[in-house]
Amino acid sequence: MKSTLLLAQLCLCFSFYSLWGQNETALHLDEVEVSDRYFQRFSKPAFVQSLADSARIRQSPTLATFLSTQTLVHLRENSAGMIASASIRGGNAAQTAVLWNGIPINSLLTGQSDLGILNTWDFSKIDVKSGGSSLFYGSGAISGSIHLQSDLNFNQDLNVRILSRYGSFHSISNQAMLSGGSSRLAYQVSAQALSSTNDYPIPGRGERMQNANFTQQSMQANVGWKPREHHQLSWFNYFVQAHRNLAVVPQMGMRSKLEDRQFRSVINYSIKSRFAVFHLKNAFISEDFDYFENRFTSVRSGSGSQMLFQRWDVQKHFSYGTLSLLAEGQWQRASGDNFEPQFRRIGTLGAFWQSQNIGKWLLQTGVRREWNSVQDAPWVGNVSLGYVFTSAFQLFATTSTHYRLPTFNDLFWPGSGNPNLKPEFSRQYEMGYIWERENVKWQTTVYHYQIQHQIRWIPTLGGLWMPENVMEVENSGFETQFHYRLNIRKAQLHTQMGYTYVNAVDMTRQNRLTFVPEHKYIASATYARKRWDVGLNGSFTSFVFTTTDESAFLPSFVLLNALATLKLDDKEKWRLHLNAYNLTNTFYETQINRPMPGRNLHLAIQYQL
C-alpha cells in the first residue's frame, strides 16, 4: 500500500516550477543541497544549538543519548533504548516538533516523536532550536524544534564509511554508508543495524533490568539530480523499524513489547529563474506500531497513520529584502485496532519577509493561516527585530504566536475522543544576543511564553479519561551557550558550556509542571592533536516533580561521559572510537521507575575511504 501511494505521488509532483533557493555563500564550496531551506534561511535570530559536527553525532548510539549529553534539551526516557521524548524550555513532548528535512514527523496519533529510534547515523546535521516556529512548520512547534537534516553533496568523490561497534550489555551496532556523485548527480545510501540485550544492572541495587532487549534497523537512500541548469531535484527516503521488549525493573510483572515501523520520503524540486525561486516539496510520512501487552502471546493492539504533504513556495529577492510565499496542503489519516480510519485535511497559506540590513537593523516578519477539516487553527505570526552592533555582535527581540493541533488520539479515541478540542495556542516573547567571532560564540536568550487551552487528559466522573483544553501554562527562563575553539600549534581544543533555567508553572493550580527540571547545565571539552581526539562532557539536571501537587519528585543527577578517537593510519582511513558513559555509575531516572544504565563502554572501529 505504501509503495503504490508513493508512486502515485511521484506522478503528481512534476510540474516544472521549482527552484533552488540557495545560500549564496555556498557557491564557493561544493554545492550542497540543503533540504530544509526555511531553517537555513530563517532560523536566525533565535537560540539555536548547532550540532554540526556530524562525526561526533555518529559516535552516539542513539539520538536520545546524544541530545541528553550534548544539548540543553531535557530527555524523558523510559530507560535505555526505549521510548524517549524531548522537552525544550519546559514544553512537553508534543510541543517539541521534530523535523526531518523540513517535514514535521511527530506522530499524528500521539503528537510526539520517539527519539529512541531515530538514530544518529543517518543525518548530516542536527540543530536544536529553542522557541516556537509554527510560522514555518505549522502545528506542534511551540517550545522548540529539533531539525534533522540530510544534505547531498554534488561533485563529491566516492565515499564509503563503515563502522562496527560493540558495547556494554551486548550492544552491537553496524553502520555503512556510501555516497558519491558528479556535478549533476549526488547520492547517499546508508544502513544501520543495532541490537542490545540491554539487561543492565541498576546502579546501587544489585539487580538487572528485565525484558529489555531490542533490535533496530534503519536505511536511508537519498539522491540529487540537476536535470538542467538552475533546476534541481532531490529525493530523500528514510525507513526505520524497531522491535523492542519494554524494559522493566524486576518488581514489575508485565512483559510487553513494541514493534515500530516508520517510513518517510520527501521529494524537492527547485527552479531558479530570473524572476524568482520556486520550490515544490512533496512528502509521504507513515508510522505503524504494534503493542503486545504480553509478548508471549500474539494478542496485540496496533495503530498507524499516514500523511501526504505538499508545499509550494516562491521566494523573490528585492533590494531591501526577501519575500517568501507558501501554500501547503496535508492529508492525514490514522487508524488502528482501536478505531476506524479518521481523516484530517489541512490547507495553509503563509508569507514571510526577511529584510536586508536597513542600517544596522534587521527585520523578519511573517504570518500564516491554516484551515483544517476538523477544527480551525488560529492565525500565527512573528515579528523579529535584530540590531547588528558589529559583525560579531547582534541583539534581537522576537514576539510570536504558535499553535498545536490536537492529535488523532485526542480527537478520535473511541469513547474518549473529544472532537471539540481547540488547538493549543501560545504567545511568546524573547530577546537575546549572539556574539560570534572566528573561534568563539556566545549566545544568550531570555524568554517568556504562555500556552492557552493546553490539552490534558483528565478523569471524569464516570471513571473515563477525556482530553480537555484545561491547562494554562506560563513558562519563563533563560538559556545561554558558549563555544570556544583554540588552536595551539598542532593541537585543537574545543570547549562548550551551556545552561538553561526554566520556571514552568501550571497557572490553574499555581504549581510547577511535572517532569520539567528547573536547571540543566552542560559542559564539554575536546582536545585533538595528531592522531588523538579525546573529550570529556558532563551534565547536571535538577530534580523534577512527578505529581501535579509537587508531592513527589525524581532527584537531580550529574553525569560524566568520556570519548576518545584514535586515527590508526596516516591516511586517516581507519579510526578507533571509545565511548564511556556515566563514568561515576550514578543512579538516575527521567521517568518514574525507569532507571537508566550505570557505567557503560562502547568500542567502535571505523573505515572511511
Partner 1 sequence: MKTLRFSFLALLAFFTLSCNPDRFIEQPLGEYQNGLFILNQGNFGAANSSISFLSNDLQTFVLDAFAATNADVTLGDTAQDIGFFENRMYVVVNNSNSVQVANRFTLNAETRITSQLNNPRYVAFGNGYLFVSNWGDGMSSTDDYIAVYSLLSFNHVVNIPVSEGPERMLVVGNELFVAHKGGFGFSDQISVIDTNQLNVSETITVGDVPDGIVEFQGNIYVLCSGKPGWSSTPTSGSLHRINPQTREVTQTWNFSSQNPNHLVAGTSLYYAIDNEVFAFTPSQSALPQTAIIQTGPQGVYGIYALAHKDGKIYLGDAGNFSERGYLYIYSLSGQLLHNQQVGVIPTGIYFN
By CB under 8 A, name the one of 26, 254, 392, 486 that touches partner 1. Answer: 254
Contacts by 485-489, CB closer than 8 A, 24 or more apart = 485/439, 485/440, 486/439, 487/439
Nearer to partner 1, 67 or 248 (CB): 248
Is residue 299 part of the contact set for partner 1 (CB under 8 A)? yes
DSSP output for 257-288: EEEEEEEEEEEEEEEE-SS-EEEEEEEEEEEE
Nearer to partner 1 among residue 250 and residue 329 (C-beta): 250
The total number of residues written for the chain in this structure: 609
In the complex, what is the shortest distance from the CB of residue 551 to partner 1, in angstroms, rounded to a whole number? 5
**CB contact set of 401 (below 8 Å; sequence gap of 6+):** 132, 134, 378, 379, 380, 381, 382, 425, 426, 427, 428
Cβ 473 to partner 1, closest distance in Å? Answer: 15
Query: What distance in Å separates the CA atoms of residue 579 and residue 585, rounded to the nearest whole number?
Result: 14
Please pick, from the candidates 252, 363, 493, 534, the single residue that binds partner 1 as defined by CB under 8 A.
252
Pick from 3, 4, 229, 459 the residue near partner 1 by CB under 8 A: 459
* Residue range at the interface with partner 1 (CB under 8 A); choices 166-174, 311-319, 380-388, 462-470: 462-470
- Give φ, ψ of 100 to 5 degrees: -110, 115
Residue with cell 554540526: 52
Contact flag: residue 458 with partner 1 (CB under 8 A): yes
CB nearer partner 1, residue 359 or residue 462: 462
Q: Are the beta carbons of 473 and 505 closer than 8 angstroms?
A: yes
At residue 92, what is the residue type? N
Q: Which stretch binds partner 1 (CB under 8 A): 311-319, 427-435, 473-481, 588-596?
A: 588-596
Q: Which x/- pattern over 503-542 shows residues binding partner 1 (rule: CB under 8 A)?
A: -----------x----------------------------
State which of residues 253, 390, 570, 571 lies at the interface with partner 1 (CB under 8 A): 253
Build a one-symbol-per-residue string for 380-419: x at contacts with partner 1 by CB under 8 A, - elsewhere: -----------------------------------xx---
Specify the residue, 479 or 589, whose C-beta has the smaller distance to partner 1. Answer: 589
439 binds partner 1 (CB under 8 A): no
Quick check: 602 and 61 in contact, CB under 8 A? yes
**Stretch in the footprint of partner 1 (CB under 8 A) among 1-9, 249-257, 373-381, 598-606:** 249-257
Cell numbers for 484, please give them: 570556544
- Residues 129 and 224: their CA atoms lie apart, in Å, by 27
Smallest separation (angstroms) from partner 1 to the CB of 310? 37
Contacts with partner 1: how many residues (CB under 8 A)? 29
What residue has cell string 524572476?
Answer: 275
Q: Which of 10, 13, 185, 249 binds partner 1 (CB under 8 A)?
A: 249
What is the rounded distance in angstroms from the CA atom of residue 54 to the CA atom of residue 260?
Answer: 26
Question: What percentage of the chain's residues is helix, strand, coil (to nearest 5)?
Answer: 10, 55, 35
Of the candidates 399, 396, 441, the one whose C-alpha atom is nearest the C-alpha of residue 44 is: 396
User: What is the grid cell recorded at 234?
Assistant: 532531490
Q: What are phi and psi of 590, to 5 degrees?
A: -115, 0
Residue 55 or residue 458: which is nearer to partner 1 going by CB? 458
Residues paired with residue 494 on neighbouring β-strands, in sequence order: 485, 526
**With binding defined as CB under 8 A, does residue 206 bind partner 1?**
no
Quick one: 233 or 258, whose CB is closer to partner 1? 258
CB of residue 464 vs partner 1: minimum separation in angstroms? 5
Q: Which residues bind partner 1 (CB under 8 A)?
A: 249, 251-254, 293-294, 297, 299-301, 415-416, 458-459, 461-464, 514, 546-549, 551-552, 592-594
